Chain A
């Protein structure tokens, strides 16, 4: 465990990556305009990035590919809830319920 002053230094180091990445082009401003083709390509960045964070959690179990796992089943429920319902809490409640029932109720 990183502790004390070192922990605060570590937090500052992690925080500096927030400013470095998010601030990069916004802070340097107009001198950093990207070519239009690149700008268009970058419109796909958020969808690709979110999915690149989501899918490994849904499809991997302890680092190995395993499509038959309770998190994927819960993920399907989350996706359905998010598509069908406008209630912002439903995906959270539905997904967690399915995951907990499968894991605790069925020991999956």
Chain B
């Protein structure tokens, strides 16, 4: 194995370790949620392997429970996953020249935390071996944590009391990811506007309010950055 691949893998693994531990509760919660929706243990494990996207999994469970038509479940999952198109576009230059199977695997493994932690350094490094190591090692770490935590939740679903509001762990996990990002002011503006936008636009059909909120938040962050730059220049 290539030296710079190993170096990238080690650095990526170490960078991801604390956050990947934070995935465990979230994965456990999702496992419990699948079982309490009525999926069998095998179906729940299957969902974790096939979908591997917490938001889409948690978001489609009520529709599966209600027996909604396939197309509606598909569209809802697509909408909930749409933010990944943005991550995918931003990361694409880092996979310049990689093989098709490697890019397919990379796509499947591209979770939020991976993008948040690794995107910047991936895009700034010129060595494709280092980049592959720095991507695939933390990606597999996240995948393993998700599958292990999910398995624990699926198998242990019965021991958790049903009225403990455990679904709130999902929101806590998302907050733990968000907090370190908003130390920069333009990023804080993007988050505040995106969040409040999603609240105000919640009436839009097919949960499109989340997508609309994200779009407004990005625009606000971009505007805040421009405004801060202009002020710096005039002073």
A-side residues, CB < 8 A to B, are 1-2, 6-30, 32-34, 39-60, 63, 65, 71, 74-75, 78-79, 82-83, 88, 91-92, 95-96, 99-100, 103
Instruction: Name the contact of A39 in the complex, choosing from B38, B46, B73, B90 (C-beta under 8 A).
Output: B90
Given the known interface contacts A41-B219, A47-B182, the answer about A92 and B78 at a Cβ–Cβ threshold of 8 Å is: no
Contacts of A82 in B (CB 8 A): 175-176, 179-180
- Who on chain A is nearest to B78 by CB? A17
Cβ-defined partner of A99 (8 Å) among B65, B168, B190, B221: B168
Instruction: Name the CB-closest residue of A to B172.
Output: A95
Residue in A2, A11, A79, A83 whose beta carbon sits within 8 Å of that of B50 in the complex:
A11
The chain A residue with its CB closest to the CB of B202 is A56
Q: Is the interface of A mostly helix, strand, loop or mixed?
A: helix
- Stretch in B8-16, B96-104, B124-132, B149-157 with 4+ CB within 8 Å of A: B96-104
What residues of chain B have their CB less than 8 Å away from a CB belonging to chain A? 18-19, 21-22, 25, 38-39, 43, 46-47, 50-53, 55-57, 60, 64-68, 70, 73-74, 77-78, 80-93, 95-98, 100, 103-104, 106-110, 112, 115-116, 164-166, 168-182, 186-188, 190-199, 202, 209-210, 213-222, 225
B106 touches A26 (CB 8 A): yes
Name the one of A20, A88, A100 contacting B78, with C-beta atoms under 8 angstroms: A20
Chain A's closest residue to B178 (CB) is A50
CB A60 to nearest CB in B, in angstroms, measures 7
Do A41 and B73 touch (CB < 8 A)?
no
A20 to B90, CA, bound (A): 15
B102 vs chain A, min Cβ distance (A) = 10
Can you name 13 A-B residue pairings with CB atoms under 8 Å? A13-B77, A14-B73, A15-B52, A21-B88, A23-B88, A34-B89, A42-B89, A49-B112, A56-B210, A57-B168, A88-B19, A88-B176, A96-B165
Chain A positions within 8 Å of B221 at CB level: 41, 43-44, 47-48
- Chain B residues with CB under 8 Å of A12's CB are 50
Q: Known contacts A18-B56, A42-B89, A54-B171; decide if A11 and B217 are in contact (CB<8 Å).
A: no
Q: Is B65 in contact with A22, judged by CB distance below 8 angstroms?
A: no
Q: Point out the residues of chain A lying under 8 angstroms from B90, CB to CB.
A: 34, 39, 42-43, 45
- Taking the closest CB of chain A, its distance from the CB of B223, in whole angstroms, is 9
Q: How far is the CB of A4 from chain B (nearest CB, A)?
A: 10
CB contacts (< 8 Å) of B82 on chain A: these are 21
Chain B residues with CB under 8 Å of A24's CB are 84-85, 88-89, 107
Known: A32-B89, A44-B218. A21 touches B78 (CB 8 A): yes
Contact of B181 among A32, A34, A47 (CB under 8 A): A47
The answer on a CB contact under 8 Å between B187 and A91 is no
Q: How far is the CA of A46 from the CA of B66 in the complex (A)?
A: 31
**Once bound together, how far apart are the Cα atoms of A60 and B47, in whole Å?**
28
A55 touches B56 (CB 8 A): no
